[in-house]
Amino acid sequence: MRAARLIKMVLLLQSRPTMTASELARELEVSERTVTRDAQALSEAGVPVYAERGRAGGYRLVGGYRTRLTGLGRDEAEALFLSGVPGALREMGLEDIASAARLKVSAALLPSLRDAPRTAAQRFHLDAPAWFREPAAPALLPAVADAVWDDRCLGARYRRGESEVVRELEPYGLVLKAGVWYLCARVRAAGTEARTEAGTEAMKGARARTRAGAGAGTGTGAGAFRTYRIDRFVGVDVMEDRFSRDEGFDLPGFWSEQAERFARSILRAEVVLRLSATGVRNLPYAVDPVAARDALAGVPEPDATGWATVTLRVESEEVAHTQLAALGPEAEVLSPATLRERFAADATRLTELYGRREG
């Protein structure tokens, strides 16, 4: 533990001209007294750490000293590529690894480039969750992330409706979508599933072969790639045996295909609309983007009044009523008749509300 801290201290001093004891204590998560002892230990070991007293003082390395301890391990190199998503790293339990990787890279840079990490961080930040949400990281995410990074098979127990399902999975990748974590995995060739009433059976030992295929994915049964919401996992068991990855698997491509397939699968009803030019422009902001894209593909020429008629796929009449209300007078529902009647009733109520006069 102390050896790792001493190495980190050297890397910090190598990447910055001078650091105060309080700055080092904060970075190393120790007391200033421990920083003093560590600096003395480094000096005794031959590392030229020099302490300057006074208001502008601090610790620095002298004589152009540069450590050779800058080689990246595999885990650090992989985490480095995720450094632009600090929240995701923290939730997966990789924050310390990524920090060590950034320090090593900073230490290897020329002095003129030492400020590159800071200037980049001030110019780009990814905030994945949607507005007005406070997403909580699933408690089992770090364990699932460990299995993904190490290519270890995973025993998972998760909720499906009122029951629990047990699966053996080959965890290929993680996806963070609008603050929600998903696991893309393949059902093991020798995989099994056991449906039990929630909480009545433990995950281990449940190896009964029943119907395969739960969660979203392509195909069903052993060998199928599926998608699982990690917040629905109620238990995971990272196994000792590793799996051989299918090198042809493309995580971004798989996710994109699954996301569009899911979006289309829930669009089970149709609405015929007349849209003004403004309504055409605003439709993608009011309804599902996939549905809007399909509806506006090859939009016919506007009629004499400048309006265009389109067919829009929707999840349900209830959902369509809520979404299309955002378009206000820029959209007219032609069918189904029941939805048109809803908007007519809305219009009547609005007329009554806004037609009233004070006094």
H or E segment to which residue 252 belongs: helix 251-265
Examine the pLDDT at 192 and tell me if it is beyond 60. Answer: no
| pLDDT attached to residue 43 | 82
| pLDDT attached to residue 208 | 33
Top mean pLDDT of 84-93, 161-170, 254-263, 337-346 is at 337-346
SS (H, E, C) 302-352: CCCCCCEEEEEEECCHHHHHHHHHHHHHHEEEEECHHHHHHHHHHHHHHHH
| pLDDT attached to residue 105 | 59
Which pTM was predicted?
0.52
Pick from 207, 206, 171: nearest CA to 190? 207
| pLDDT attached to residue 136 | 72
How does pLDDT run across 105-137, given as a tens digit for each residue?
A: 565 555 555 565 555 555 555 566 666 666 677
Q: How far apart are CA 212 and CA 191, in angstroms?
A: 9
Are the beta carbons of 271 and 333 closer than 8 angstroms?
Answer: yes
Instruction: Name residues whose C-beta falls within 8 Å of residue 89's C-beta, 6 or more positions apart in sequence.
Output: 79, 82, 83, 95, 98
How does pLDDT run across 318-346, given as a tens digit for each residue?
A: 999 999 999 999 999 999 999 999 999 99
Q: How far apart are CA 164 and CA 309, in angstroms?
A: 46
Are the beta carbons of 331 and 273 closer than 8 angstroms?
Answer: yes
| pLDDT attached to residue 196 | 38
| pLDDT attached to residue 203 | 39
Examine the pLDDT at 212 and tell me if it is beyond 50. Answer: no
